[in-house]
A and B are shown apart, each in its own frame.
Chain A
Amino acid sequence: MKAFTTLDGLVVPVDRSNVDTDAIIPKQFLKSIRRTGFGPNLFDAWRYLDEGQPEQDNSRRSLNPDFVLNQPRYQGAQVLLARENFGCGSSREHAPWALDDYGIRALVAPSFADIFYNNCFKNGVLPIVLPADVVDGLFRDVAANPGYRLHIDLSAQTVTTPSGASHGFSVDEFRKYCLLNGLDEIGLTLRHSDEIRAYEARRARSEPWIFGGAA
């Protein structure tokens, strides 16, 4: 996994609550058996005027000029500012894959859906929860200031605005450690293989029906 330490990134605001994973990456793109290449289809139904299909040449499609991601001032954005319950709906990891592939490295919102939040950490994308009034203020500041950037420091757990205002955020210690170091969680877990095997042996005695397939 990619490490995340600090980021100074252009901010793009997506001003809707309950943005679901179907909106982030529509189902037709879930047919891919790869992990990459989803960026051009991020927010596909909002971003283009036609209905996208997998393996299509997206450069020939008509963009929806009203959608925020298509506005010139937000090109190259690395921080996505969002509203409540961002990433609700399905467990598809294609959602953070699409954000990452597009170039988004961090998300700021008042709340995220649980599975999506979790999936972000597995892909080096940092989801940051800030209080609703702070997020509200950021939406206003982004709208008023073209080129608006945020400085994010994972180690210090701060989001700093161009005016120097700093907002602390919380993150689980273990997730932070993995993200700062870009660690492979499976490799870490396998260091505890003996404990897993010992646990398994205990369960096989107390609940033998868990082990073995159909009778």
Chain B
Amino acid sequence: MNSLSLYEKLWQAHVVREEPDGTALIYIDRHLVHEVTSPQAFEGLRIAGRPLWRRDSILATADHNTPTTNQTVIADPVSRLQVSTLDQNCKDYRITEFPMGDRRQGIVHVIGPEQGATLPGMTVVCGDSHTSTHGAFAALAMGIGTSEVEHVLATQTLLARKSKTMQVLVEGTLSLGVTAKDVALAIIGHIGTAGGTGHAIEFAGSAIRGLSMEGRMTLCNMAIEAGARAGMVAVDDTTLRYLEGRPFAPHGAQWDAAVAYWRTLHSDEGAHFDRVVTLDASRIEPLVTWGTSPEMVTTVNGRVPDPAAEPDPTRREGMQRALRYMALQPGMPITDIAIDKVFIGSCTNSRIEDLRAAAAVVRGRKVAANVKLALVVPGSGLVKAAAEAEGLDKIFVEAGFEWRNPGCSMCLGMNDDRLSPGERCASTSNRNFEGRQGAGSRTHLVSPQMAAAAAVTGHFSDVRAFLN
């Protein structure tokens, strides 16, 4: 009896051919394209005079450069050219695109699942490391570079080698106020940002089965922050309920046939994993990062760690550099850290459930006086419309938040949404690297409700006090 892991099933189903050294040609089912990593790939295709292999595998949108205020015009000419280049390439190659202004436009990792363009059993690629998000649907989804974007455009395949496998088991029940974001940060804190390097991670266990699709997407989104190119979750009823009726999902008899196949997309009993990591869900608390790497994380009621206690010299120096950059003192309580700005958004946390959770904390409260700007940037035009239909926009605006248009926004600040040097942000995004949200910016990664709690108190606060 050959027990296979979910990753092995997905891998085997997509091998077109294999070289003697194990390098395989993997077929790509879905190719998501955005403006930043595609122009050089289309240019390469043109220069070589090669046609596009399969137009209907591609879904494109502009997200990184799009302004979140006025979406009719991009002021920066360099950004404008990049977006118009995507529009032109999609026109030239007759690719389905949700351009700026289309109500379906948004962050590529939000709109793929939202449209049902991401389906179980697929290989999904995009020139963006957070493509791991789509693994939430039991898809083999990974970020690729621009040369690989061109390779997929021209051949519908990717040269790849089989990864090692890691199972992350999260068993038990998450406490009130603890979200998928906290689970992701807890895992990264545990295994480190290189812990998943060379591996595909499958998230499993009762706490994962208990997550919504939005929560699973948040978790798989951050697999790359643990170093794993792909993260994934098995198919269950939650997956199917989310997908049924979405525009790109199969319908009628094809839906039934698809479901029969998708039901097999889980790891078999006794499947081998190269590494297994187990976490107790009940012990996970709301988390806040204090440094310049997502693994530099502690509980909201914890303290900034002391580098002097770190025995490894390279790590100690890294901690010292991070604390200097973040302007924090060892031993300082996390709840004493005051913030300047709040960002609720990004491919990690900009879906309707994230906005609902944040709004539940914000409702009837006001953004603290020391907070200069609190932004809510929905992940797509459709998320924005759904939130407005529920009145979430009013809750945010009455509290003093700005309610913006969809895009990557302040996660990386390729548009105008940036931190000024030295500013400190409670951010629901995925990376707290030096300069990530603007030159000299200081990012603390948190869940949406923790960002909301920080917004109303002006410093990091235990969201559980708001929910009891």
Contacts and interface: CB of A to CB of B under 8 A. Distances in A.
A91 B434 contact: no
A186 B413 contact: no
B38 to A, nearest CB: 9
A90 B440 CA distance: 19
Interface stretch (B147-155, B169-177, B202-210, B460-468): B147-155
B268 interface: no
A31 B78 contact: yes
B65 A172 contact: no
Interface in A176-215: 185-186, 189-190, 192-193, 195-196, 199-200, 203, 206-215
Contacts of B224: 115
A23 B81 contact: no
Interface in A98-120: 111, 113-115, 118-119
A16 to B, nearest CB: 7
Nearest to A34: B40
B460 to A, nearest CB: 23
Contacts of B414: 27-28, 30-31
Interface residues of A, number: 62
Interface string B421-434: 10000000001011
B444 to A, nearest CB: 16
Interface in B107-146: 115, 117, 119, 121-122, 127-129, 131, 142-146
Given A185-B151, A190-B154, A91 B145 contact: yes
A135 B411 CA distance: 34
Interface in B6-48: 16-17, 19-23, 25, 27, 29, 36-37, 39-40, 43, 48
Given A185-B159, A207-B258, A85 B129 contact: no
Contacts of A23: 433-435
A186 B440 CA distance: 40
A153 interface: no
Contacts of A33: 39-40, 43, 81-82, 85
Contacts of A55: 78
Contacts of A206: 261
Contacts of A199: 16, 27
A39 B165 CA distance: 36
Contact of A113 (B22, B194, B258, B434): B194
Interface stretch (B246-254, B277-285, B356-364, B378-386): B246-254
A144 B147 CA distance: 38
B229 interface: yes
Contacts of A214: 96, 115, 117, 247-248
Interface stretch (B213-221, B313-321, B336-344): B313-321
B275 interface: no
B156 A119 contact: no
A40 to B, nearest CB: 16
A160 interface: no
Nearest to B58: A213
A85 B434 contact: no
B193 A85 contact: yes
A27 B413 contact: yes
A142 interface: no
From A96, A122, A173, residue with most partner B Cβ within 10 Å = A122
A20 B249 CA distance: 36
A45 B129 contact: no
Contact of A31 (B79, B148, B439): B79
B202 to A, nearest CB: 17
A20 B431 CA distance: 10
B293 interface: yes
B25 A196 contact: yes
A155 to B, nearest CB: 16
A22 B433 contact: yes
A71 to B, nearest CB: 19
Nearest to A45: B435
Nearest first, the 9 A-B pairs at minimum CB distance are: A209-B250, A122-B147, A173-B21, A93-B145, A119-B145, A33-B39, A91-B143, A174-B23, A85-B194
16 contacts: A26-B439, A27-B436, A31-B414, A35-B43, A89-B433, A93-B145, A172-B22, A173-B19, A193-B155, A200-B27, A200-B54, A208-B254, A209-B257, A213-B248, A214-B248, A215-B250
Interface of B: 16-17, 19-23, 25, 27, 29, 36-37, 39-40, 43, 48, 50, 53-54, 56, 64-65, 76, 78-79, 81-82, 85, 96, 115, 117, 119, 121-122, 127-129, 131, 142-148, 150-151, 154-157, 159, 161, 193-194, 197-198, 224, 227-229, 247-251, 254-255, 257-258, 261, 293, 314-315, 317-318, 321, 412-414, 421, 431, 433-436, 439-440
Given A91-B37, A91-B128, A209-B250, 11 more contacts: A33-B81, A91-B131, A92-B145, A93-B40, A115-B144, A122-B147, A123-B147, A196-B53, A200-B156, A214-B96, A215-B250
Interface of A: 16-18, 20, 22-23, 26-28, 30-35, 45, 51, 54-55, 83-85, 88-93, 96, 111, 113-115, 118-119, 122-123, 172-175, 185-186, 189-190, 192-193, 195-196, 199-200, 203, 206-215
